[in-house]
């Protein structure tokens, strides 16, 4: 089995952690025996923009569409290119045009890592985020200038996309602890959120074995801090999922460990795997970027391609590594990107 | 000086903590010498709805408009009345019709109280929330039924309301540590949030002595967990302010201590003071509701009416009380609502 992967290191530390995670994936393939990876590098990034005036060439999407998956580092460096250009020209463009309508983000306590919470209680949450519409719709505009100016932003929620995200969440919960929490705000946001609740109720009916509850986003965000271990799968709109998954990364101890997958569920286009962290311009070139987020993201890529067994081995090895405190400075350690990567590779080889 | 206050205990534990806080306010008035409070009780609540079919009578708003301020407990008990009826018929109705366009919510570490954070570092944040428009606009609707159904919710941001919230935040920061953080999401939400950023930039120019920064809501929510002490005043849209203030309540150790004020800045109508917590139907009648949120809310009412000195005395006494661990069960103590209230009253009397 050969997996053809488009790798886009992107900006900043993306260029440091993507090669590290690729080394890890090659090691996984050796361990597996029957699996090989073929990576093709694409230089799309802010630097590419400075040179070419675009984040990717005209046929960029077409070229990426030939791959089994995309493995992305980080996009954006506001010192070089304004965010709305870099993000909408690359990251969000790929999410939208490749119909990656679901964003899955685990938030799980890793052994040996100090959570900012006194009682993290081994939380293990999967945030399933609707990734294509909702609050991020590009529908809106302005009227008047000056003191009467008004900006209007439309939040667009379709039954199709809402239901798709929810079914994904229920399917996932069925393989986990069997519990789905819906993030809502129907007490304050009176058109989109009551609709969201209705769809949730409908979808829940076809999963009688999954327990459900719903929480308003304000309370839910607070619960992620006061009692995260009560959650299993949380399904959320584009914006709510964005917020919850960052809090999830926060309680994990560092955004540097948080992984994510942008999933194309209809199989028409490649899915894209990218860690939650950004390009971290402040630590570029120091060799201290945390590779765990990118490597855990590689585990999600393995799972996505049916290699759950190898995915589990990789997560075990990540956990052994953090447990032994082979960790970077964002987690209170003093190890380099390379140290952590080598440790993970050596532990894989010893399996 | 006499302050005429409309008190609306509302639902559930509102009926337990409002009388407690009123006793405290009378004690403050005695201590002050030249201040008296005249409270008039209004029974508007879910029970009122069950009896009368409305959350308040037709002339309810008119009657409330005669007061200097409104002192509210909690509204809503979904076991009795659906939230959208109880909240929009009372809480949100008053906020809107009395043009309470700003919601101010302190998040401050109280001594003696265990924060869920390992390193709370004495955080002391004021969340200034736009309280009248934005994501909570009641503009929207649906098209089609069944699988093609789409719900649209308009977020409406006016320069007037946005600027008003921001000026309030800058004025507040000028009296505090001189720092305002703007909660944005202009990298993902491309009509309303870039507008929000523009107005922020404009307003900041008239406050050269206030330091500013802006953070995307996802990162900001995570920073409230990983490093809350870096913030002073945070200005946010209706939804973002709602979320941040609940995280603020979460890191304080219990939503039971968090206070809030809905401020009418044009002086046309009364402002309304209400704690962040809800009616907590599960603990009604047990005498264990935490009165600190409501009493701290009373401090905000004092501040609003120019009695900042007494407001400070009251906050000092609240802090002495928590420091001595005279606290309710939500904070890990075993004291009753009455115990905590008596302790605060006795300490006030000893001043
Ligand atoms: C009850 C709800 C509509 C309300 C809000 O979101 O404004 C509450 O959460 C609050 O913050 O006062
Ligand atoms: C960069 C930004 C547009 C993006 C988002 O909000 O989707 C990021 O926060 C993320 O979560 O991947």
Nearest CB among B194, B225, B239 relative to A225 is that of B225
User: Alpha helix locations (H) across chain B?
Assistant: 14-32, 46-52, 60-64, 83-86, 92-97, 159-174, 192-205, 217-226, 238-252, 292-304, 308-323, 337-349
**B32 phi-psi bin (left φ>0, alpha ψ -120 to 50, beta other):** alpha
Three-point CA angle A11, A14, A20, nearest 5° = 150
Q: Is residue A248, in this structure, part of any structural domain at all?
A: yes
Pocket test residue of A87, A130, A138 for ligand 2, highest count of atoms within 8 A of CB: A87
Tell me which residues of chain B, numbers 299 to 338, contact chain A at a CB-CB cutoff of 8 Å: none
User: If you measure from the C-alpha of residue A278 to the centroid of ligand 2, how many angstroms do you get, rounded to a whole number?
Assistant: 9
Q: Which residue, B252, B275, B304, sits at the end of a domain? A: B252
State whether residue A123 sits within 8 Å of chain B by CB.
Answer: no
Q: Is residue A325, in this structure, part of any structural domain at all?
A: yes
Q: Is residue B35, in this structure, part of any structural domain at all?
A: yes
User: If you measure from the C-alpha of residue A76 to the centroid of ligand 2, how many angstroms do you get, rounded to a whole number?
Assistant: 11
Nearest CB among B138, B191, B250 relative to A190 is that of B138
Beta pairing partners, A98:
none
Give B244-258 pLDDT, tens digit per residue. Answer: 999 999 999 999 999
State whether residue A217 sits within 8 Å of chain B by CB.
Answer: yes
Q: Are B321 and B347 contacting, i.e. CB atoms less than 8 angstroms apart? A: yes
Asked if the Cβ–Cβ distance from B150 to A158 is below 8 Å, we say yes
Closest-CA residue to B227 (of B126, B321, B119, B303): B119
Tell me which residues of chain A, numbers 61 to 80, contact chain B at a CB-CB cutoff of 8 Å: 76
Whether residue B265 sits in one domain with residue B239: no
Half-sphere exposure of B165 (CA within 13 A, CB side): 37
Q: What is the mean pLDDT of residues B46-65?
A: 97
* Structure tokens that stand for A45 in this block: 């990034």
Give A146-204 pLDDT, tens digit per residue. Answer: 999 999 999 999 999 999 999 999 999 999 999 999 999 999 999 999 999 999 999 99
Beta pairing partners, A234:
A127, A181
Q: Domain of B119?
A: 115-125+132-137+156-252
Pocket test residue of B75, B91, B272 for ligand 1, highest count of atoms within 8 A of CB: B91
Asked if the Cβ–Cβ distance from A152 to B191 is below 8 Å, we say yes
Distance between CA atoms of A68 and A55, rounded to whole angstroms?
Answer: 21
* Chain B neighbors of A194, CB-CB under 8 A: 84
* Structure tokens that stand for B261 in this block: 């004020």
Distance between CA atoms of A169 and A281, rounded to whole angstroms?
Answer: 34
Q: Are B261 and B71 contacting, i.e. CB atoms less than 8 angstroms apart? A: no
CA R_g for chain A: 20
Q: Residue A257: pLDDT band by 50, 70, 90 thresholds?
A: very high
* Chain B neighbors of A114, CB-CB under 8 A: 118
Q: Which residue, B215, B231, B252, sits at the end of a domain? A: B252
3-state class (DSSP) for residue B184: strand
Whether residue A269 sits in one domain with residue A244: no
Answer whether residue A140 shows pLDDT above 90: yes
Distance between CA atoms of B292 and B275, rounded to whole angstroms?
Answer: 9
Ligand 2 atom showing the smallest separation from residue B187 Cα:
3
Q: Which residues line ligand 1 (CB under 6 A)?
A: A 187-188, 218; B 87, 242
Give the burial string for A73-95 (b: 16+ CB within 10 Å, else e).
Answer: bbbbbeebbebbbbbbbbbbbbb
Confidence (pLDDT) at A84: 84
Answer whether residue A98 shows pLDDT above 90: yes
Whether residue B328 sits in one domain with residue B202: no
Q: Is residue B145, in this structure, part of any structural domain at all?
A: no
Asked if the Cβ–Cβ distance from B239 to A189 is below 8 Å, we say yes
Domain of B243: which CATH number?
3.40.50.2300
CA R_g for chain B: 20
State whether residue B191 sits within 8 Å of chain A by CB.
Answer: yes
DSSP for B107-128? EEPPTT---SBS--TT-EEEEE
Distance of CA A119 to the CA centre of its chain: 25
Ligand 1 atom showing the smallest separation from residue A219 Cα:
9
Closest-CA residue to A296 (of A344, A248, A242): A344
Nearest CB among B138, B140, B246 relative to A222 is that of B246
Answer whether residue B39 shows pLDDT above 90: yes
Establish whether residue B218 lines the binding site of ligand 2, counting it when its CB lies within 6 angstroms of any ligand atom: yes
Give A298-336 pLDDT, tens digit per residue. Answer: 999 999 999 999 999 999 999 999 999 999 999 999 999
Whether residue B120 sits in one domain with residue B226: yes
Instruction: Please count the structural domains in chain B.
Output: 2
Q: Considering only CA atoms, which residue is closest to atom 9 of ligand 1?
A: B242
- Mean residue pLDDT of chain A comes to 97
Confidence (pLDDT) at A170: 98
Confidence (pLDDT) at A325: 97
User: Alpha helix locations (H) across A53-181?
Assistant: 60-64, 83-86, 92-97, 159-174
Asked if the Cβ–Cβ distance from B191 to A142 is below 8 Å, we say yes
Distance of CA A18 to the CA centre of its chain: 15
Confidence (pLDDT) at A89: 96
Domain of B322: which CATH number?
3.40.718.10
Share of chain B above pLDDT 70, in %: 100
CB atoms within 10 A of CB A241: 27
Whether residue B262 sits in one domain with residue B209: no
User: If you measure from the C-alpha of residue A165 to the centroid of ligand 2, how many angstroms do you get, rounded to a whole number?
Assistant: 17
Give B260-285 pLDDT, tens digit per residue. Answer: 999 999 999 999 999 999 999 999 99
Confidence (pLDDT) at A83: 87
Beta pairing partners, B213:
B181
Q: What are phi and psi of B249, to 5 degrees?
A: -65, -40
Whether residue B44 sits in one domain with residue B24: yes
Asked if the Cβ–Cβ distance from B187 to A146 is below 8 Å, we say no
Distance between CA atoms of A169 and A78, rounded to whole angstroms?
Answer: 34
Asked if the Cβ–Cβ distance from B149 to A195 is below 8 Å, we say yes
Strands laid side by side in the B233-236 sheet: B36-41, B2-10, B69-74, B271-273, B261-263, B102-108, B124-130, B233-236, B179-184, B211-216
Minimal C-alpha gap between A115 and chain B (Å): 8
Helix (H) or strand (E) holding A225: helix A217-226
3-state class (DSSP) for residue A127: strand
Asked if the Cβ–Cβ distance from A188 to B225 is below 8 Å, we say no
Q: Are A304 and A103 contacting, i.e. CB atoms less than 8 angstroms apart? A: no
Q: What is the mean pLDDT of residues A74-90?
A: 92
Q: Is residue B272, in this structure, part of any structural domain at all?
A: yes
Whether residue A235 sits in one domain with residue A162: yes
Confidence (pLDDT) at B83: 87
Q: Is the dihedral of CA B208, B209, B211, B212 positive or negative?
A: negative
Q: What are phi and psi of A323, to 5 degrees?
A: -60, -35
Q: Is residue B147, in this structure, part of any structural domain at all?
A: no
3-state class (DSSP) for residue A204: helix
Distance between CA atoms of A97 and A61, rounded to whole angstroms?
Answer: 8
Whether residue A132 sits in one domain with residue A93: no
Contacts of A267 (CB under 8 A, 6+ apart): none
Question: Token match 């990789």: residue?
Answer: A314
Whether residue B55 sits in one domain with residue B79: yes
| Ligand with minimal distance to A87 CA | 2
Q: Residue A141: pLDDT band by 50, 70, 90 thresholds?
A: very high
Q: Is residue A10, in this structure, part of any structural domain at all?
A: yes
Q: What is the mean pLDDT of residues B200-227?
A: 97
CB atoms within 10 A of CB B223: 19
Pocket test residue of A89, A131, A242, A246 for ligand 2, highest count of atoms within 8 A of CB: A242
Question: Token match 């860690």: residue?
Answer: A275
Whether residue B171 sits in one domain with residue B192: yes
Q: Is residue A105, in this structure, part of any structural domain at all?
A: no
Whether residue B174 sits in one domain with residue B77: no
Give the pairing type, strands B102-108 and B261-263.
antiparallel
Give B97-137 pLDDT, tens digit per residue. Answer: 999 999 999 999 999 999 999 999 999 999 999 999 999 99
Whether residue B222 sits in one domain with residue B121: yes
**Percent helix, strand, coil in chain B (nearest 5)?**
45, 20, 35
């Amino acid at each position: 089995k050969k997996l053809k992967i488009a790798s886009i290191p992107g900006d900043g530390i993306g260029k440091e952690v993507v090669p590290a995670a690729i080394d890890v994936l090659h090691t996984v393939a050796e361990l597996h025996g029957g699996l090989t990876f073929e990576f093709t590098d694409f230089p799309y990034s802010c630097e590419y923009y400075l040179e070419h005036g675009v984040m990717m060439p005209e046929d960029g999407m077409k070229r990426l569409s030939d791959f089994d998956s995309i493995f992305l580092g980080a996009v954006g460096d506001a010192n070089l290119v304004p965010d709305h250009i870099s993000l909408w020209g690359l990251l969000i463009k790929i999410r939208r045009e490749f119909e990656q309508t679901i964003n899955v983000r685990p938030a799980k306590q890793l052994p040996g890592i100090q959570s900012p919470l006194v009682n993290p209680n081994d939380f293990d949450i999967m945030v399933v985020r609707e990734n294509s519409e909702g609050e991020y719709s590009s529908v809106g505009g302005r009227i008047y200038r000056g003191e009467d100016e008004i900006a209007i932003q439309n939040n667009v929620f379709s039954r199709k996309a809402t239901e798709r995200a929810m079914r994904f969440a229920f399917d996932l919960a069925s393989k986990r602890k069997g519990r789905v929490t819906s993030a809502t705000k129907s007490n304050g946001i009176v058109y989109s959120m009551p609709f969201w609740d209705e769809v949730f109720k409908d979808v829940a009916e076809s999963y009688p074995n999954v327990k459900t509850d719903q929480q308003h986003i304000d309370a839910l965000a607070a619960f992620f801090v006061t009692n995260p271990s009560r959650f299993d799968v949380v399904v959320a709109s584009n914006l709510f999922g964005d917020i919850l998954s960052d809090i999830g990364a926060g309680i994990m101890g560092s955004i540097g460990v948080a992984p994510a997958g942008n999933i194309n569920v209809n199989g028409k286009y490649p899915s894209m795997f990218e860690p939650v962290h950004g390009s971290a311009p402040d630590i570029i070139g120091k060799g201290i970027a945390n590779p765990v987020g990118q490597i855990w993201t590689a585990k999600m890529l393995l799972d996505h391609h049916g290699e759950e067994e190898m995915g589990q081995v990789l997560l075990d090895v990540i956990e052994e590594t953090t447990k032994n405190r082979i960790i970077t400075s964002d987690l209170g350690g003093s190890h380099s990107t390379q140290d952590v990567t080598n440790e993970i590779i050596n532990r894989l080889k010893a399996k």
